[in-house]
Structure 1
């Protein structure tokens, strides 16, 4: 499919195909992923992550702090420390 915006045409077919393959791979491997937009504070979960945690995808994703509570406390502390370091240094 193509998306037009202000006279610019971009073919997003490959991107959509990659997303479909990623979703299928996550389902087979029983993995999920989430992205954290530090500018807005929003978390975006993959469909598979909703399945793994038994949450309804129609519900909103958890907040960053709610997301951390889903992890073992030691892992949540490591994850939070990594996020804080990335925010402080600008590194991923």
Structure 2
């Protein structure tokens, strides 16, 4: 008889546990949906801000040296999205020849020494257009002091009538 009570208790405990896990999962799913919606809202706000403010953001992973561009940076460089995010060397090649060494030096210092940078330069777009930009970069440093990557932005300095 006591075995029947133990089996009944175990079955009840299992059903109760499953019930609470299902409730917890549903709440987690609602929370995840809310966070996803907020993330999408923030992304859209950033995209609108970039186009209105004429700036774009980028991030370079120190390990892969791939530079991830925001949509506005692709637009600014007149680069097709289908070409993907450029490796650092290709991104540096967009700078005007006279500005390329300065840009490359600033990025290398950031990667080696963790130094932030800011400079004015010119980029040459895929269509051959010259655009003056302000480039800023700040280093992402891990707890050991190693550079994980560089976050940055380009600000389009061209006059409205030149756009």
Which one has the largest radius of gyration? Answer: 2
For the criterion TM > 0.5, the same-fold answer is: yes
Q: Which runs of 5+ in 2 are unaligned?
A: 1-30, 116-138, 140-163
Deviation string 1:42-91 (CA, Å, 9 cap, x unpaired) is 11111111122222212212221111111123433222222211222234
Unaligned runs of 5+ in 1: 4-9
Q: By how many angstroms is 1:11 displaced?
A: 2.7
Q: TM-score, normalised by structure 2?
A: 0.45
CA–CA distance in 2 between the matches of 1:55 and 1:28? Answer: 19
Q: What corresponds to 2:53 in structure 1?
A: 29
Q: In 1, distance between residues paired with 2:78 and 2:107?
A: 25
Structure ranking higher in helix proportion: 2
The structure carrying a bigger strand percent of its residues is 2
- Distance, in Å, in 1 between the alignment partners of 2:79 and 2:58 is 14
Distance in 1 of aligned mates of 2:38 and 2:105: 35
Q: CA–CA distance in 2 between the matches of 1:68 and 1:58?
A: 19
| C-alpha RMSD over aligned residues | 2.4
Are 1:18 and 2:48 matched, yes or no? no
RCO (CA 8 Å, sep 6+): is it higher in 1 or 2?
2
Give the whole-Å Cα distance in 1 for the aligned partners of 2:80 and 2:111. Answer: 30
Q: 1:78 to 1:15 in 2, by over 3 A?
A: farther
2:32 matched to which residue of 1?
2
